[in-house]
Amino acid sequence: MRKTVLTITLNPSVDKSSSVENIIPEKKLRCSTPVYEAGGGGINVSRGLKRLGIPSEALFTCGGKAGTLLESLVDAEGPVTVPISVHAETRENFTVTDTSNNRQYRFVFPGETLAEEEQKHLLNLLHAKTPFPDFAVISGSLPPGTDPDFVRQIIRICSSKGSTLIADTSGNALQAALEEGIFLVKPNIGELATLAGKDHLEAPDIDRAAQQLISEGKAELVVVSLGSKGAVLFSKDEKIQLEAPPVQVRSTVGAGDSMVAGMVSVLMRGGNSEEILLKGIACGTATTMVKGTGLFTKKNAEHLFALMQQARQEPQ
């Protein structure tokens, strides 16, 4: 039987992107026609999985006119949608690129609080879901004012259903997820430093902090994102570090979510740790080649994956 995946996005967004030549203060800037795309961590993971030919269910909250637009945008991308109506308006984020220097400006808004009854409705939906997906991906930020215990409750339900948990979030939500125990977590260096109670981490500190999460039973795989330098994967018995292939970077929006999609695609077919990291970096890097808030193409992701595989096989 083919394995299935559920993505969970608690604070989604409609992402609007545009471009303009020369961003100058106090001047009327005539931008290009805006592009609207579905946004939010888990939704982006589902969008990425669809590009890799893997179906998924995207569970997300949505409200107001922006929420209606979000639902239609996700539907158009192809995942099976599980929208949960909420009273608050879905947030919108705005990204603009200055074409004179290719600098990108990202305006990210906080979103609205999830009411207690809305949180209960989501939990009840998860409880009742059957059959339950083999993998559950919790990705993106928490809505403002949401108790991190809500994340714990979600993880407990998914775990009780036998689902393998992947988390890509930050702050108190990330801490809560790790306290419950998950299979894979993808922090960046800053997030890992916070978990370790430090301001910053040098290379040896990264190893110790990641291995501590594993030894304490908080995660089985820790993948630390190094941005343009690639990523490093830790397990109980392995450490694999790979550099990202050089590409022309047009945008970094969605690169981390695309990396998660690539890793999940390998997990679903039982691939090994090296393949997980290779596919994750390939998909994340391929997304940086796309302007605005677009995600990777399958062609680019597969090309980069093949290049990286070839480089690994060549004598050093």
pLDDT exceeds cutoff 90 at 1: no
If pLDDT is split at 50, 70 and 90, which confidence band does 315 have? Answer: low
Hey, what domains does the chain have and what are their CATH numbers?
Answer: 5-313 (3.40.1190.20)
Euclidean distance between CA atoms 84 and 106, whole angstroms: 27
Assign 27 to helix, strand or coil: coil
Predicted confidence at residue 37, as pLDDT, reads 96
Assign 302 to helix, strand or coil: helix
pLDDT exceeds cutoff 70 at 149: yes
Euclidean distance between CA atoms 115 and 10, whole angstroms: 12
pLDDT tens per residue across span 220-250: 999 999 988 899 999 999 999 999 999 999 9
In the chain, % of residues over pLDDT 70:
99
pLDDT tens per residue across span 171-216: 999 999 999 999 999 999 999 999 999 888 888 899 999 999 999 9
Residue 95 and residue 251 in contact, taking contact as beta carbons nearer than 8 Å: yes
Euclidean distance between CA atoms 93 and 204, whole angstroms: 37
pLDDT tens per residue across span 58-82: 999 999 999 999 999 999 998 899 9
257 is annotated as an active-site residue: yes
Assign 129 to helix, strand or coil: coil
If pLDDT is split at 50, 70 and 90, which confidence band does 7 have? Answer: very high
Euclidean distance between CA atoms 180 and 73, whole angstroms: 33
Residues in contact with 24: Cβ distance below 8 Å, sequence separation at least 6, in sequence order: none
Query: Which residue type, as a one-letter code, is found at position 261?
Result: A
Predicted confidence at residue 316, as pLDDT, reads 59
Predicted confidence at residue 43, as pLDDT, reads 97
Predicted confidence at residue 314, as pLDDT, reads 73
Please give the average per-residue pLDDT across 76-90, as a whole number: 93
pLDDT exceeds cutoff 90 at 264: yes
Active-site option among 75, 149, 205, 257: 257
